[in-house]
Amino acid sequence: MFELKDRDGLARIGILRTAHGDIETPTLLPVINPNQITVSPAEMREKVGMQAMITNSYIIRKSDNLRDIALEKGLHHLVGFDGPIMTDSGTFQAHVYGKIELKPLEIIEFQKTIGSDIGTVLDLFSEPDDGYEKVQNDLTETITRTKMSAENKGNMMLAGPIQGGRFPELREHAAREMSKLDCDVFPVGGVVPMMERQMYSTLVNATLSAKKFLDPSKPVHLFGAGHPMLFALATLMGCDMFDSSAYAKFAREGRMMFSDGTRFLAEMRELPCHCQVCSTHTADELRNSPSKDKLLALHNLHVSFSELRSIKQAIHEGRLWELAETRCRSHPTLLDGLRCMANHTEFLERHEPLSRTLAYLYTSRESYHRPTVTRLRKRILERYEPPNSSAEILLPDATKPYSRTFAEPIANALKISDAHFWADALFCPVPLELDEMYPISQSVVPEFPGQDIIGEKEKVLAQFRDAGKFPSPLRIWNGIETLEGLPPRSGSLPDMNLMRVKAVADIQFGKGAGNALLDGKVKLVLSSNTDRIRNVQVNGNHVLSMRAGDGFFSLKPAGGRMLLKAFPSPKLRVIVNADSAEFNRLGRNVFCGFIVDADPGIIPRDEVIIVNESDELCAIGQAMMTREEMLAFRRGIAVKVRDGVGND
């Protein structure tokens, strides 16, 4: 059973429960070869925080000695570890050394008998160079074997590898078919050669193609991924588990892993690492140590687990994109992988939170294509309704919020004309009504973004123009003379606060939400300190609160009622069964397992309306998951309820 604890887009912190204890993901399962133990599992647990390990059931079965111990005393006794143990099936050995004399069900039976916590199907390994037909045939066989294995897995958890070679459509097919089977973990397989050959764009396409169609409630393992420089990117794609023998193999070759690459110990003048090994040895001492291999292995493990902790902290802070962009700049092939993420924008956007606590930091050219800003552009294009104007004025990028920075010239301009204002933000032109909304005010961008981004900006501007976002000609602000030749103001001064409420509501809840929510006698309550909008009241009811942090609204029950009336089901709704509804009305959270259906447009941190199957309002809250996740997970919080609503 897997439970989601925290997330940042597709990246997640989860708990996988096994018969020998819980695993907090993302994590690395170091490969332990029972024939050649460099660092014992007990030492790994104690020194580097390893939680779970993986070993190869084929190697154990092949050796008379190991097999006898495993059969008699169990796998955990054999390797001297009482925590969770995953076993691989011998697929890789079969692939490298030719046919092995194993039957798929025999190896499942063996893994079960020796007490593996997570056994693996004997899948067929596809190489990235294999042709379509071969990969397709092998995949069909892997699916058949997984079906048989799942029917015979007993109490053992089962890992069902996703093959499909370099073909995205076969990866998708594999993910769809495998998700129908009773597996507990989905490893992405056949990727070791991609990593060895640094084909990271192929890896990203293969992994994300699979991820799109995999049951989201199951952890995804990236088979053979063991270099810490890849972990941030892999986690960003939604991978939860890694395994590798690289820590030991690299150590034997005298190589040290770092989060930005690999270095030979022979070439180290300094040891720029804080681990137990590096902080107690000089490079020379390490080179001359009789236990060099073990010390290097410990260093490699330390760096790997330390990177995983950095990643978990980044997920918690909502800063994983920044971390991955930094890591991927350490090698051009990784940069290719990162850039490939932009081929999957729509999928990424569906999991991208509405907002984050910390500001968006523009750290690289690739930041321009992060899902937070691609969605911002898309939502402005699709949802923003520009007011009537005689001129659209583009203000320069400046200190945010723009409406404060330019308060005086705007007030003067509005006295004499029907101008409407945009800011020339780095991501896209921003209507000033939206300027306090995440990530516009909550972003830090370079003053000198570079020529290539200027080209991108021009493309976006043209897109906005083509979409009719500028109902009157666009003028670049150049002082009050910019307004020359415009007709004088035609009516009363526009209420900028009211325009902001409408525009933000449309962006947040969908086109038409602003008008629906403002239908009645409107009163805006402003903060006495900052003069910013705090609450929106309509006909005496509190319908919305504007959050100071991200500039979005918290929905109040009265607002929820208005949106229910304005939009047909399932828009903005999480539909719960009767058992849940009763509790949610009391203000308790919505848990997975009680959800009948939900709006497929819901993104993490969206304000949602909890209704029963008769579409009656039960509560208001903040979604933690997408619809697919709400329906797939069996445990965990789906919606954090803010206000329960009693029976009408």
Is residue 592 part of the contact set for Zn ion (CB under 5 A)?
no
Q: Using CB under 5 A, pick the residue from 32, 278, 373, 483 that binds Zn ion.
A: 278
CA atoms of 185 and 279, how far apart (whole Å): 37
- Our answer to whether residue 88 is catalytic in this structure is yes
- Which is nearer to ligand GUN, 84 or 224 (by Cβ)? 224
Residue 342 DSSP label: G
CA distances (Å), 168 to each of 136, 161, 264, in order?
12, 15, 36
Interface contacts to ligand GUN, rule CB under 6 A: 88-89, 91-92, 120, 123, 125, 161, 189-190, 192, 223-224
Amino acid residing at 203 = L
| Element (DSSP H or E) covering residue 264 | strand 261-264
| Residue 88 binding result from ligand GUN, Zn ion, none, given CB thresholds of 5 to 8 Å by partner type | ligand GUN
Which residues face 55 on adjacent strands?
Answer: 87
Beta bridge partners of residue 609, listed in sequence order: 573, 620
Tell me if residue 259 falls in helix, strand or coil: coil
User: Does position 294 bind Zn ion by CB under 5 A?
Assistant: no
Q: Which two tokens stand for residue 185?
A: 């973990």
Pick from Zn ion, ligand GUN, none: which does 321 bind, CB < 5 to 8 A by kind? none
Q: Which does 123 bind (CB under 5 to 8 A by kind): ligand GUN, Zn ion, none?
A: ligand GUN
Which of ligand GUN, Zn ion, none sits in contact with 8, Cβ below 5 to 8 A by type? none
CB 499 to Zn ion: min, Å: 56
The item of Zn ion, ligand GUN, none sharing an interface with residue 223, based on CB under 5 to 8 Å by kind, is ligand GUN
**Does position 60 bind Zn ion by CB under 5 A?**
no
Rounded to a whole number of angstroms, the minimum distance from the CB of residue 381 to Zn ion is 49
Binds Zn ion (CB under 5 A): choice among 11, 188, 191, 275: 275
How far apart CA 126 and CA 328 sit, in angstroms, is 26
Q: Which range in 207-215, 296-304, 397-405, 445-453 contacts Zn ion by CB under 5 A? A: 296-304
Q: Give Cβ neighbours of residue 189 (< 8 Å, ≥ 6 apart).
A: 91, 123, 125, 126, 161, 162, 163, 223
Give yes or no for residue 281 binding Zn ion (CB under 5 A): no
Give least dist CB 302 to Zn ion, A: 6
Nearest distance in Å: CB 168, ligand GUN: 17
CA distances from 339 to 52, 211, 325, 451, 460 (A): 32, 17, 10, 18, 19
- Report 429-488 residues binding Zn ion (CB under 5 A): none
Question: Considering beta carbons, is residue 247 or 347 the nearer one to Zn ion?
Answer: 247
Burial of 606 (0-12, 13-18, 19+ CB in 10 A): buried
Q: What are phi and psi of 526, to 5 degrees?
A: -100, 155
Contacts of 342 (CB under 8 A, 6+ apart): 366, 369
- Tell me which residue of 390, 385, 341, 373 sits closest to 457, measured CA to CA: 373
Please say which residue, 273 or 630, places its beta carbon nearer to Zn ion: 273
Contact status: 39 vs Zn ion (CB under 5 A): no
Q: How far is the CB of 450 from Zn ion (least distance, A)?
A: 35
Give me the amino acid identity at 232.
A
Nearer to Zn ion, 121 or 277 (CB): 277
**Taking CB under 5 A as the criterion, which residues in 254-273 touch Zn ion?**
273
91 binds, among Zn ion, ligand GUN, none (CB under 5 to 8 A by kind): ligand GUN
Collapsing DSSP states into helix, strand and coil, what is residue 620? strand
Nearest residue to ligand GUN, using CB? 189
Query: Which among 8, 88, 130, 643 is annotated as catalytic?
Result: 88
What is the three-class DSSP state of 144?
helix
Q: Which of Zn ion, ligand GUN, none does residue 299 bind to, with CB < 5 to 8 Å depending on kind?
A: Zn ion
Q: How near is the Cβ of 123 to ligand GUN at its closest, in Å?
A: 5
The DSSP 8-state label assigned to residue 119 in this structure reads E
| C-alpha radius of gyration, the chain, whole number | 28
In the complex, what is the shortest distance from the CB of residue 242 to ligand GUN, in angstroms, rounded to a whole number? 11
Residues 6+ apart with CB under 8 A from 184: 2, 118, 157, 158, 159, 218, 219
- Using CB under 5 A, list all residues that contact Zn ion: 273, 275, 277-278, 299
Known catalytic residues are 88
